[in-house]
């Protein structure tokens, strides 16, 4: 029998993965308050999803108080947060799994009620996102026009990413994923719908990519390239994003990242919109294919995969591994279910963000449900 492409080993930086089913980063807004501290419930959740030789990527984690954009998203900049994350990495390592921490700064996707001192959110330029956000009391509010960052502040943002990466390592993590995707700060710098700067960080593609690359280089200097991944969401319009020449932008970014010998590059396919459960957009560009033509290291693709399409993508070498989001919420033992071809449980959207163990740690594994295991 031909080996299952999802269950062949893969070297990802310093790690030897035993399978290619990766847990995608997912914000769940369940850190302990006050302090945005990861706690025992979070350790239980990640521990449930760990598998031998499998890689999990955490929810996006604040690199600083200013990086914060949603109630109860965790941070990694205080001793209590680092201690909380240690319990998470221990729970994953106890099952011989691996875990990277996704580190982010939300930029303009925040609200003054969530910012230190009630300050305005910051961004490359004072461009307000369309639509509403949720404030610190959980109420819908119109987005505010962010304050454009001074060039002199950007070094501090790079240092915050580097400090967060060191803290993740101190908390026992196997590496970090720099969040350059989904319309948050680094993505806001990349695209010219949000970046209207006229200094070294705006205008040309080289200038717009500068902050991302400075962050990546800083984190690599701290941890080593084999402990660093990067996530991008080319062509994705989530969080009111746009660019006038995506093809050239993504080509340049892929080319530059390729020089850095990262553990991996992770791309979100623009065909999938995780804010709804609508069918995939068949006309969207194929992000993995575009990056595969330039990026020669391990490439992870995410967005709307099921077992068969994941298998086909790996078998055809369109991606080296597949990250699953929603299916991992409702199937803690997703790799095992895919290995034996078991039915997948559907997710409950109402419990994605915030709340307690319900919709978080109470999805059953097959073994818990007493169903038959084995191929």
Residues noted as catalytic:
184
**Contact flag: residue 111 with ligand FMN (CB under 6 A):** no
Q: According to CB under 6 A, which one of 304, 332, 335, 359 is a site residue for ligand FMN?
A: 304
- Contact between 326 and ligand FMN per CB under 6 A: yes
- Binding of ligand FMN at residue 214 (CB under 6 A)? no
Q: Residue 338 interacts with ligand FMN (CB under 6 A)?
A: no
Of residues 56 and 148, the one with the C-beta less far from ligand FMN = 56
* Cβ contact 88:40 at 8 Å: no
CA distance 49 to 47: 5
With CB under 6 A as the contact rule, the residue among 27, 48, 239, 361 that binds ligand FMN is: 27
Q: Does 62 bind ligand FMN (CB under 6 A)?
A: no
Nearest CA to 52 out of 89, 8, 93, 11 is that of: 93
Q: How far is the CB of 243 from ligand FMN (least distance, A)?
A: 18
CB of 323 to ligand FMN, least distance (A): 7
Stretch binding ligand FMN (CB under 6 A), from 41-49, 80-88, 176-184, 203-211: 176-184
Q: Please, are residues 71 and 354 in contact by the beta-carbon 8 Å criterion?
A: yes
Q: What Cα–Cα distance (Å) separates residue 7 from each residue in 153, 199, 313, 338?
A: 45, 47, 13, 10
Q: What mask of x and - would describe binding to ligand FMN in positions 245 to 284, judged by CB under 6 A?
A: -----------------------x---x-x----------
Residue 168 binds ligand FMN, judged by CB under 6 A: no
238/343 Cα distance (integer angstroms):
30
124 Cβ contact list (under 8 Å, min separation 6):
107, 148, 149, 185, 188, 189, 194, 195, 196, 197, 201, 202
Give the HSE-up count for residue 133: Cα atoms under 13 Å, Cβ half-sphere. 26
Closest CA to 290 of 316, 262, 258, 251: 251
- Structural tokens at position 275: 């804010």
Shortest Å, Cβ 266 to ligand FMN: 8
3-state secondary structure 198-210: CCCCCCCHHHHCH
CB of 204 to ligand FMN, least distance (A): 26
287 binds ligand FMN (CB under 6 A): no
Q: Out of 148, 171, 211, 302, point to the residue binding ligand FMN (CB under 6 A).
A: 302
Distance between CA 230 and CA 237 in Å, rounded?
A: 19
Distance CA 79, CA 59 (A): 19
CB of 239 to ligand FMN, least distance (A): 11
Q: 366 by DSSP, 3-state: which?
A: helix
Residue nearest to ligand FMN (CB): 325
Least Cβ distance, residue 306 to ligand FMN (angstroms): 9
What gap in Å lies between CA 24 and CA 326, rounded to an integer? Answer: 9
Contact 300, 100 (CB under 8 A): no
Contact between 351 and ligand FMN per CB under 6 A: no
Site membership for ligand FMN, residue 352 (CB under 6 A):
yes
Judged by the rule CB under 6 A, the positions of this chain that interact with ligand FMN are 24-27, 59-60, 102, 179, 181-182, 231, 268, 272, 274, 302-305, 324-327, 352
């Amino acid at each position: 029998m031909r080996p299952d492409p999802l269950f062949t080993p893969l070297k990802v930086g310093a790690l030897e993965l035993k399978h290619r089913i990766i847990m995608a980063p997912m914000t769940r807004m369940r850190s302990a308050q006050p302090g945005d501290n990861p706690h025992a419930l979070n350790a239980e959740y990640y521990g449930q999803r760990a598998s031998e030789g499998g890689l999990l990527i955490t929810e996006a984690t604040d690199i600083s108080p200013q990086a914060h954009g949603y109630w109860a998203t965790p941070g990694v900049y205080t001793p209590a947060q680092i201690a909380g994350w240690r319990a998470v990495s221990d729970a994953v390592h106890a099952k011989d799994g691996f875990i990277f921490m996704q580190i982010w700064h939300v930029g303009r996707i925040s609200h003054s009620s969530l910012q230190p001192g009630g300050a305005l959110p910051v961004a490359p330029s004072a461009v307000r996102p369309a639509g509403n956000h949720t404030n610190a009391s959980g109420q819908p509010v119109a987005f505010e026009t962010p304050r454009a960052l001074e060039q002199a502040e950007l070094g501090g943002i790079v240092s915050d990413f580097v400090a967060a990466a060191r803290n993740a390592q101190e908390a026992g993590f196997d590496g970090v994923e720099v969040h350059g995707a989904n319309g948050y700060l680094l993505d806001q710098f990349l695209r010219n719908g949000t970046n209207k700067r006229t200094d070294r960080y705006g205008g040309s593609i080289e200038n717009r990519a500068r902050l991302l690359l400075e962050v990546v280089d800083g984190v690599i200097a701290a941890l080593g390239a084999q402990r660093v991944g990067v996530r991008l969401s080319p062509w994705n319009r989530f969080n009111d994003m746009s660019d006038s020449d995506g093809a050239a932008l993504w080509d340049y970014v892929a080319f530059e990242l390729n020089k850095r010998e990262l553990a991996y590059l992770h791309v979100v396919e623009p065909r999938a919109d995780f804010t709804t459960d609508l069918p995939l957009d068949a006309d969207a560009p194929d992000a993995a294919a575009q990056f595969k033509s330039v990026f020669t290291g391990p490439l992870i693709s995410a967005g709307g995969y099921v077992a068969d399409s994941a298998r086909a993508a790996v078998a055809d070498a369109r991606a080296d591994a597949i990250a699953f989001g929603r299916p991992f919420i409702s199937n803690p033992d997703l790799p095992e279910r895919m290995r034996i071809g078991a039915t997948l449980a559907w997710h409950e959207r109402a419990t994605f963000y915030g709340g307690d163990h319900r919709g978080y740690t109470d999805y059953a594994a097959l073994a818990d449900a007493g169903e038959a295991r084995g191929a």
